[in-house]
Structure 1
Amino acid sequence: MDRLTEMEAFATVVDQGGFTDAARKMGISKSAVSKHVSSLESRLGARLLNRTTRRVSPTEIGLAYYDRARRVLNDAGEADALVTSMQSDPTGILRISADTDFGVNHLSPILGHFLNSYPEITVNMELTNRFVELISEGFDIAIRMGELEDSTLRARKLTETTRRMIASPEYFARFGRPARIDDLNAHKLLHYSSQSHGNMWKLTAPSGEKRQVRTAGWLSVNDGQSLLNAAVAGLGIAYLPSFLFAEALSEGLVEEAMPDLPVETIGIYAVYPPGKFVQPKVRAFIDFLVKEFGQKGPEIW
């Protein structure tokens, strides 16, 4: 007889407390259940069940065997579910969290292609600059940048971006161009108002020394596109990722403020909850993102 079927019959008898209910649960005859259990006991050379006219209960050996057998049966069920899931079409609501700047400029424009490819998926995307708790807040996937702090999450690197200081040619004509990091103290800097460390930039000098610059400007705002617009308008120097300023740089609307400084490269990742297998809707979106961004960054956007 099949070993897994024997295990299932025995475990079901223990779960249901008798052969009659076990037979009903498995959809086979009571005599078939009895044969499976007897065959298992014969093969193992041990009595697994105490049988009386009123009740059936596992022996001490049977209880120990039940614990292992139930784990094996659960794993087998998960393996079957995995194959079924991976062959099914992705469906359901996909909840996404993404950085506002990246979401507006690079996710939103391509979502239509994804939804047309997977019509059974509905997207609920939240664009925010705060760090969301992926699991407790019910998100399926998040797009994050920089060093990943939560090692319990699974991650797939999508691409990279750089971060540079940029300003308009008109600004440099009016206020001059900084030659050293210390020169930034005399300039108007445009800041993200949502950063936890306030109006401060962390820069690397040509020597490799880490420096901090804290200088006020005409504008602090919690939106990178607004900072880029302000830089283009000549209001100051902004420190932005290349996925925001690449087009403006290529069109000559902005220039690098200090091109000789070491360039900071930042990874962009898709992160998702840990688990034994990835939901089809999540796997489909990650594969889509890898295809879309595989040839982009860190400078070309």
Structure 2
Amino acid sequence: MDRLHGMKVFEKVADCGSFTAAAEACGMTPQNIAKIIAALEKDIGAQLLNRSTRRQNLTEIGEMYLERARVILADVEETDALVSHFTGEVKGTLRVSVANTFAIYQLSHKLPGWLKENPGIRLDMTVTNREVNLIEEGFDVAVTDEEPPDSSLIRHRISELPIILAASPAYIEANGMPASPEDLSHHTLLVRQDQTSWTFKGPDRSLITIPTSAKYLANNCLISCEMAIGGLGITKQPLFRLRPHIERGELIQVLPDYPIPSKTLSAVYPQRRLMTLKVKKFLDFLDQEFGHGQLM
């Protein structure tokens, strides 16, 4: 069998925890995954996985083999990267996780042109706001506005993301314009399920945090924006998402004198001794298209 391919499949099974999840990640069937693992075990003469449950747990030998296999696969990847740096040829699968709002309203407009310039790239992009585990899930890069939970990851800052509040003219006419963050307790807020409070900067630059008690909860920026345009309440979103609606008069900025602390859009990726050319090219693309200080 192809021992290197077997190691890659074994690493994926170990990271995903089951043949089914690994098969989905690799674009294979669970039966093929099982056959590859069985062939690998036969070649090395040892059992790597326990199969007594739905999840495939590592044996003691499997844990030791996985540790060495990761080193070997990383060395192979970095060797390929070294060749790519000399040849200048960008190729291979680029697995990227991208935050929803940025992916849909910014990246999607620029990405086709970059992919046409780099025909050797096979893109595998996941659009999600959930926190992904780059190592276990096999992502090369995550583009996010959240702080990376793992300090061993490298954070490449791209731009600042100003955040604002906005509501429709009809809503403001019916309910009045809030004069301070404290006034929001008398208004209808359109809030994500994970938002229990909103924070503002006061005139003296001190932070003001208010609890959010929402009648309408939605974890999708498009839904919240349309609800705000429809006069249902006040939404909190990146400026680049709401600006077109403000320019068309569909929304009005709320509490402009109490700015919300901005977020930082970053590309996060695992530590490597030598960055692969596909990752470097992608980071250069993000800097060129979106690295202008603030994403407006």
* Equivalent residue runs for 1:205-220 within 5 Å: 205-220=202-217
Q: Which moved more, 1:173-182 or 1:100-109?
A: 100-109
Tell me the CA shift for residue 295 of structure 1: 3.5
The amino acid of 2:83's aligned partner reads T
Tell me the CA shift for residue 296 of structure 1: 6.9
Aligned position for 2:134: 134
Report if aligned partners of 1:218, 1:236 keep a CA contact under 8 Å in 2: no
Q: Which has the greater radius of gyration?
A: 1
CA distance in 2, matches of 1:294, 1:212: 29
Tell me the CA shift for residue 149 of structure 1: 4.0
Q: TM-score, normalised by structure 2?
A: 0.68
Aligned position for 2:250: 253
CA distance in 2, matches of 1:243, 1:216: 25
Aligned position for 1:230: 227
Tell me the CA shift for residue 105 of structure 1: 1.1
Report if aligned partners of 2:203, 2:258 keep a CA contact under 8 Å in 1: yes
CA distance in 2, matches of 1:207, 1:199: 24
Tell me the CA shift for residue 281 of structure 1: 1.0
Per-residue CA deviations over 1:113-155 (Å, capped at 9, x if unaligned) read 1210111111111111111111111000000114444331122
Per-residue CA deviations over 1:1-44 (Å, capped at 9, x if unaligned) read xxxxxxxxxxxxxxxxxxxxxxxxxxxxxxxxxxxxxxxxxxxx
CA distance in 1, matches of 2:80, 2:262: 40
The amino acid of 1:87's aligned partner reads F
Q: 1:171 to 1:83 in 2, by over 3 A?
A: same
Report if aligned partners of 2:191, 2:212 keep a CA contact under 8 Å in 1: no
SS of the aligned residue for 1:96 comes to strand
CA distance in 2, matches of 1:229, 1:80: 49
Report if aligned partners of 1:217, 1:236 keep a CA contact under 8 Å in 2: no
Q: TM-score, normalised by structure 1?
A: 0.67
In the alignment, structure 2 segments of 5+ residues that lack a partner are 1-75
CA distance in 2, matches of 1:131, 1:181: 29
Number of matched pairs:
220
Aligned position for 1:43: none
Report if aligned partners of 2:82, 2:274 keep a CA contact under 8 Å in 1: no
The amino acid of 1:117's aligned partner reads E
CA distance in 2, matches of 1:204, 1:78: 46
CA distance in 2, matches of 1:161, 1:79: 33
SS of the aligned residue for 2:83 comes to helix
* Equivalent residue runs for 1:37-116 within 5 Å: 83-88=82-87, 89-116=89-116
CA distance in 1, matches of 2:78, 2:237: 46
CA distance in 1, matches of 2:132, 2:213: 29
CA distance in 2, matches of 1:229, 1:78: 45
CA distance in 1, matches of 2:221, 2:211: 18
Aligned position for 2:178: 178
Tell me the CA shift for residue 177 of structure 1: 0.6
* Equivalent residue runs for 1:4-15 within 5 Å: none
Per-residue CA deviations over 1:213-243 (Å, capped at 9, x if unaligned) read 3344442111112111111111100111112
Aligned position for 2:265: 268
In the alignment, structure 1 segments of 5+ residues that lack a partner are 1-76
The amino acid of 1:229's aligned partner reads E
CA distance in 1, matches of 2:237, 2:134: 26
The amino acid of 1:157's aligned partner reads R
Tell me the CA shift for residue 87 of structure 1: 2.2
Identity rate of aligned residues, in percent? 32
The amino acid of 2:190's aligned partner reads L
Aligned position for 2:69: none
Aligned position for 2:121: 121
2:162 counterpart of 1:162: yes
Aligned position for 1:35: none
The amino acid of 2:254's aligned partner reads A
Tell me the CA shift for residue 262 of structure 1: 3.0
CA distance in 2, matches of 1:157, 1:79: 23
Aligned position for 1:65: none
CA distance in 1, matches of 2:242, 2:263: 15
CA distance in 2, matches of 1:265, 1:216: 22
CA distance in 2, matches of 1:174, 1:91: 56
SS of the aligned residue for 2:132 comes to coil
SS of the aligned residue for 1:119 comes to coil
Q: 1:139 to 1:207 in 2, by over 3 A?
A: same
Aligned position for 2:187: 187
Report if aligned partners of 1:96, 1:140 keep a CA contact under 8 Å in 2: yes
CA distance in 1, matches of 2:254, 2:241: 16
Q: 1:284 to 1:201 in 2, by over 3 A?
A: same
Tell me the CA shift for residue 266 of structure 1: 1.6
